[in-house]
A and B are shown apart, each in its own frame.
Chain A
Amino acid sequence: MKRSVPFEIFRYAAILAAIAVTLVPILWMVSMAFKPIGEWSATGTDLTWWPKHPTLANFQFVFGESTNDLIVALDHTALKPILSSLLSAVFGTAIAMSAGTAAAYGLSRFGSGQNLPLALIQLRLFPPMAVMIPVMIMWSFLNFTDSWWGLALVYGIVTLPFAFWLMKTFFDDMPREIEEAALVEGCSRLRVFTRITLPMMRAPLASAALFVFILNWSDYLIALLLTTREWVTIPVYMASLSSSMTGQLYGAKAALGLIAAVPPVIMGIAIQRHLVRGLTFGALKQ
């Protein structure tokens, strides 16, 4: 539809304002991550929007290298938390995706597990805080507390609803003709699933896995409750970085924040067209 010139001006002005509000918090953190210690909490006229003397010292500091400005010693570096975030998110995603994909196929093709759609949405409804007491008791009984595998198991269950619903809508949309042809050729149903359906669904599987990974990687509360020292994840490590001894380590925390924020933003942009489907449990497709 043809629009008037004043409308176009208004539209660009409004969108640019929204973009400014969107970007300022992100850019402030990026800028902070490269600021030397003297500029961290400079205020008033000394406040710097962009580092005057950009430095990588903050990144070196969180990875345990001593730098000239920061004489605080860390009791452990960011390496282990990064490893913990990666392992728990990757294996959590693997659990959610394998159980979710299999169940979605079972329901979509054979009508098995009719209770799952509702049960899984209910699982998503509840605040994690309201189910964590039994989980904490069970995990300490199983000796899963403060371990990446214990965290991965919870992540796998928490994100199972998304994996299941995403894959279910993908399977429902997929044409059945090829599967039926293979059945007529004498393939077993399991073979059809593993040798024909799954390879055909590579792209949707990858999108769903990325979506689930972002959710797992973004967790803070569950890791806060289930890890204490050895296997804390990046957000928990970041929050614990400041103490009354060191004061706020603004730059170091911003550097960590940047490390945590970059992967999901890139992945999110990569799977943009599936976001609506994932977030609305397949109720809406783009």
Chain B
Amino acid sequence: MSAVTATISKGKMDAATGKPAQRDEGARLGFRLTLPAQILVLFISAFPLLMQLYISVTDWSPLSGVGWWNAWEMWNGFANYTDLAADTRFWSALKRTAVVMLVCVPAEFLLGLALATLFADDFPGKRIFYSILLMPMMVVPAVAGYMFFMLFQSGGPVNDILSRIIGAPVTIAWLSDPNLALIAVMIADIWQWTPLMFLVLLAGRVGVPEDQMKAATLLGANAWQRFTTIVLPKMKTIIVIALAIRVIENFKIFDTLYIMTGGGPGVATETISVYIYKVTTQDLIWGYVAAIALAILIVLSIVAVYAMKRMAKTREMTA
């Protein structure tokens, strides 16, 4: 919030330095410049949200033979929402999404933090290592999904490496075993997104003042003490941002996972996005999908307000 107020006052100061005529010109131009973005936001939020709200209280489906505006003919009250509360497949998909998040985000964070710590000072080869380590996050997620699909084939390289280590042929069917499939998709997510944690955390680690670290060393603090008493507290807000970004994005997990397993075997890797996708394209009960989507949007909006407050606080600190 405070970032927004800061911009307001900045805008006012800027306008105040100009002559009245110039100020009007500025306000008019500002309005016109922001108009296209405003229209796009309205186009994708206000109208679709109302449409979604409307459809969510009906049984409408694209196959029902009436236009969506006539969906009221199929009004079913709040049946979709009560169905949702009793939909075990939805709740298990939500639980699975939470499990994936609770494994992947901390793993990505710890690995990223460890790498950022190793990269904190200069050493020969730093730049080239840095560039290579960032590559996974730039690979198209669907393509990354396909890479891991190949790696985890029962005759594929992962089993080949394991065979060499053990000395006996390993033929684990990673993607067709319900438990292993979930582990495989989590490994793919960790591979792809640890670089993002590393990138953001390193940017924060570089901002830790070197003189404080030196002073602590002179006072006899060891590396671990310096890390816990200086580095971590200084990086606190950056850590919050990095975690927030990954939590948000991980919740949406779809591309890699869907290419690797299609949500299967059975529903073993079906996360919330995959579940909604399947109901949308296979079961085609769009009234119900609209209800699920709205429920998720409401929960996420509450999270959003909290996250924005934290981000605004950080921007204030780094400004």
Contact = CB atoms under 8 A, between A and B. Distances in A.
A21 B214 CA distance: 34
Interface in A13-27: 14-15, 18-19, 21-26
B142 A11 contact: no
Contacts of B133: 15, 18-19, 22
Given A11-B118, A114-B4, A126-B297, A102 B33 contact: yes
Given A14-B118, A110-B15, A189-B22, A133 B293 contact: yes
Nearest to A221: B254
Contact of A106 (B30, B290, B311): B30
Contacts of B276: 127, 129-130
B165 interface: no
B293 A130 contact: yes
A190 interface: yes
Contacts of B315: 282-283
Given A23-B132, A121-B308, A131-B44, A98 B29 contact: no
Interface stretch (B81-89, B101-109, B152-160): B152-160
B75 interface: no
Nearest to B311: A283
Interface in B276-319: 276-277, 280-281, 286, 289-290, 292-294, 296-297, 300-301, 303-304, 307-308, 311, 314-315, 318
Given A112-B30, A118-B4, A29 B147 contact: yes
Most chain A CB atoms below 10 A, which of B4, B34, B155, B294: B34
B185 interface: no
A20 B313 CA distance: 38
Given A22-B135, A133-B293, A106 B31 contact: yes
A133 B311 contact: no
Interface string A83-110: 0000000000001001110110111111
B29 A280 contact: no
A279 B146 contact: no
A129 B293 contact: yes
A103 B238 contact: no
Contact of A164 (B37, B55, B131, B259): B37
Nearest to A10: B118
A43 to B, nearest CB: 3
A54 interface: no
Q: How large is the interface on B (under 10, 10 to 19, 20 to 34, 35 or more residues)?
A: 35 or more
A62 interface: no
A25 B191 contact: yes
A130 B97 CA distance: 15
A188 B28 CA distance: 12
B134 interface: yes
Interface residues of A, number: 106
A265 interface: yes
B26 interface: yes
Interface string B181-206: 00000000001000110011001101
A111 interface: yes
A102 B32 CA distance: 9
A205 interface: no
Interface of A: 1, 3, 8, 11, 14-15, 18-19, 21-26, 28-29, 32, 41-44, 47, 49, 95, 98-100, 102-103, 105-114, 116-138, 156-157, 160, 164, 176, 180, 183, 188-190, 193, 214, 217-218, 220-221, 224-225, 234-235, 238-239, 250, 253-254, 257, 260-261, 264-265, 267-269, 272, 275-276, 279-286
Interface of B: 3-4, 7-8, 10-12, 14-15, 17-18, 22, 25-27, 29-34, 36-38, 40-41, 43-45, 47-49, 51-52, 55, 62, 68, 114-115, 118, 121, 123, 129, 131-144, 146-148, 150-151, 153-157, 160, 169, 191, 195-196, 199-200, 203-204, 206, 210, 213-214, 217, 238, 241, 245, 248, 251-252, 254-255, 258-259, 272-273, 276-277, 280-281, 286, 289-290, 292-294, 296-297, 300-301, 303-304, 307-308, 311, 314-315, 318
22 contacts: A15-B118, A19-B133, A29-B143, A43-B156, A44-B169, A99-B36, A103-B37, A110-B30, A112-B34, A117-B3, A134-B51, A138-B51, A183-B18, A189-B22, A217-B140, A224-B277, A260-B140, A261-B140, A264-B138, A264-B139, A276-B203, A281-B311
What 3 pairs between A and B have smallest CB-CB spacing? A111-B11, A43-B155, A110-B30
